[in-house]
Structure 1
């Protein structure tokens, strides 16, 4: 009996089949995605001015803090105005003298015209009086011009902000002699709105123009959404508009220069910043969206592990498009409803059976959590 019992019992060395591993899977979903391109762009203030001294003199005042916001009309620099105020007084005195001379010579000419018909004044003397009156009038115009010039030079001793903006570093300190030959005193820029310059290759630009002409919409704004990704990889909160396309192709680059405009009320984007310009068309198409964590890269390209109806894992090559945060757009290889492995990839391989546990993905952070989690 013991021999029979021993023959029927399992040997301790016989393998025990393990249960299928529990693996996190994600059910592929679709969402509308438009045509999409990214460009490297560089920001530029929409207006910039170099502040220069237009008269020579000593800087006696600076009315701003470097790097600060200044308002239109605010005093930025003051040049010693004493010599220009004196020149203005001299010009005013010369104008008064010229006015008196006009009054005198014109009066003599008028009296001469009354005396000439009676023979008390020769024609030659009358002509001389007329010439003197004319010269006095010319001198008056010259004095008026000199007064205007003196007033302009006096006004130039006060350099004010032509518009509101941020002012940079000053090149000259108070006490320095500056003049028209000096370098700019400082630079003032207005960065709200901010421009972003970028380039589009000539072939794509011509194709776009031809398409718009065929549609009869060549004179209309392109149906696109324009966004920005900042150097810290965060998306800029404001959307932009295309506001300029150059009239010629850059021969050196084989591309056309374009410019987008963005609101910049908070001053987040400073001039000279390299950014990524994101252009997306309004016409959208439903495409599969998957977490980036599910994608594997190999010699054959990108692949994911798909769970079939028998809960068996198989590897499938996919063609990927743009990234949307932590998600990846799938151009081909997957469709809505497919289940792919997203958690526990190290525990599975193609051909094995698993115990799938549905997961959900945070569209902002990419974090995975069970689908029925609170």
Structure 2
């Protein structure tokens, strides 16, 4: 009886001890391999290819404004009119002076012709003949001078009609009719072209040297010799929906900032871009190559190292140091992981190196990015 009681007490203690908890559940996704091409992103400001400050080329009273402020104007459209009457008078005066010079030239030619007829009978001296010939030459010079004065007078008359030098969108009129304007001052209005738009951006010295190496190795084409594609997105847009091209890279770096200026050009015939807007520009940063990628959120930091947690043999967690590269659609290019190895994506706080886990393999989208698992539904009461 004593032995039975002792055995019964031991069995009760064993039954009261709780069972060991199961390994924690973590979400994993396989590392993938695919062909990638890196891109560089820059911040940019939009500028119009043609920005014109419209100024008067002759002085006078502003007579009329011909445009509606803020409208689109065609090249050659009338913008302002300056009182043309003083300049029309100058044209009439120049025409009269030209006519007088021509009459004088005809008289000089007639006198020279009569004098040359008298040379056979020595009816005129050589001195008088030379003076008449010089008079004919002076008359011709006076005609040229009068013609130039007439051209200048007609130009000044034409300058009283101020026209749009380029097609584009016009600003407001700085002066109203009745005001006096001088030559070149003040600015009457501004005009910016709209058919294209430039996106100016600054690239760092390291980025410039990287591109220079790729161009010299033949991996990338030079913007100076070939068409290099560029993409742009505005502040309220997702991604880079607008395609253009790089058409300019400066010839020197700015020593104060350690950067070099580049420019991309985009079509703007629909008028969707306004000069001065902030934009994001993306350009090709490398040639195409095969790379291994993992979800960016799976990469952690261990002091100065970048590591990922792998699920290895017998579902044991194994830390692995990696060298991260470019980020592409939420996936990070890495070195140190083989394609197909299971990488812990979610539940990293429950994964301990060398400890077993229960892996839950996530589905991935067309780019290899793991899709988060749906939350478990609460049990119904």
TM interval, short-chain normalised: 0.7 to 0.9
For residue 194 of structure 1, what is the aligned residue in structure 2?
198
Q: Which structure 2 residues correspond to residues 79-228 of structure 1 after superposition, within 5 A?
A: 79-118=82-121, 120-190=123-193, 192-201=196-205, 205=209, 208=212, 212=216, 221=225, 225-228=229-232
Q: CA deviation at 1:148?
A: 0.3
Q: CA deviation at 1:342?
A: 3.5
| TM-score (normalizing by structure 1) | 0.77
| Distance in 2 separating the partners of 1:219 and 1:363 | 30
Q: CA deviation at 1:145?
A: 0.8
* Larger mean Cα displacement after TM superposition, 16-25 or 143-152: 16-25
Q: CA deviation at 1:112?
A: 3.1
For residue 287 of structure 1, what is the aligned residue in structure 2?
291
User: Does structure 2 conserve the Cα–Cα contact (< 8 Å) formed by 1:109 and 1:130?
Assistant: yes
User: Does structure 2 conserve the Cα–Cα contact (< 8 Å) formed by 1:225 and 1:282?
Assistant: no
Q: 1:236 aligns with which of 240, 245, 268?
A: 240
Q: CA deviation at 1:251?
A: 4.3
Q: CA deviation at 1:75?
A: 2.1
Q: CA deviation at 1:87?
A: 1.7
Q: 2:335 aligns with which of 322, 332, 335?
A: 332
For residue 54 of structure 1, what is the aligned residue in structure 2?
57
For residue 323 of structure 1, what is the aligned residue in structure 2?
327
* Corresponding residue SS for 2:58: coil
For residue 362 of structure 2, what is the aligned residue in structure 1?
358
Going from structure 1 to structure 2, the CA distance change for 1:315 and 1:82 (only over 3 Å counts) comes to farther
Residues 33-70 of structure 1 show CA distances to partners (whole Å, capped at 9, x for unaligned) of 23554445444433333322111122333344444433
User: Does structure 1 conserve the Cα–Cα contact (< 8 Å) formed by 2:42 and 2:201?
Assistant: no
| Distance in 2 separating the partners of 1:175 and 1:357 | 80
Going from structure 1 to structure 2, the CA distance change for 1:207 and 1:190 (only over 3 Å counts) comes to closer
Q: CA deviation at 1:17?
A: 5.4
| Distance in 2 separating the partners of 1:68 and 1:316 | 62
Going from structure 1 to structure 2, the CA distance change for 1:173 and 1:289 (only over 3 Å counts) comes to farther
User: Does structure 2 conserve the Cα–Cα contact (< 8 Å) formed by 1:42 and 1:198?
Assistant: no
User: Does structure 2 conserve the Cα–Cα contact (< 8 Å) formed by 1:288 and 1:334?
Assistant: yes
CA RMSD of aligned residues (A): 4.2
* Larger mean Cα displacement after TM superposition, 80-89 or 263-272: 263-272
Q: Is residue 308 from structure 1 mapped to residue 312 from structure 2 by the alignment?
A: yes
| Distance in 2 separating the partners of 1:122 and 1:231 | 90
| Distance in 1 separating the partners of 2:109 and 2:88 | 32
Going from structure 1 to structure 2, the CA distance change for 1:125 and 1:220 (only over 3 Å counts) comes to closer
Going from structure 1 to structure 2, the CA distance change for 1:169 and 1:354 (only over 3 Å counts) comes to farther
Going from structure 1 to structure 2, the CA distance change for 1:15 and 1:277 (only over 3 Å counts) comes to same
Residues 60-110 of structure 1 show CA distances to partners (whole Å, capped at 9, x for unaligned) of 333444444332222233322222222222222322232233223322332
* Corresponding residue SS for 1:60: strand
| Distance in 1 separating the partners of 2:158 and 2:227 | 49
Q: 2:351 aligns with which of 349, 352, 355?
A: 349
Residues 205-249 of structure 1 show CA distances to partners (whole Å, capped at 9, x for unaligned) of 49936972899x999847965444544573333444443344445
Going from structure 1 to structure 2, the CA distance change for 1:89 and 1:116 (only over 3 Å counts) comes to same
Q: CA deviation at 1:146?
A: 1.1
Q: Is residue 72 from structure 1 mapped to residue 75 from structure 2 by the alignment?
A: yes
User: Does structure 1 conserve the Cα–Cα contact (< 8 Å) formed by 2:296 and 2:332?
Assistant: no
Structure 1 stretches lacking a partner, 5+ long: none
| TM-score (normalizing by structure 2) | 0.75
How many residues align structurally?
A: 367
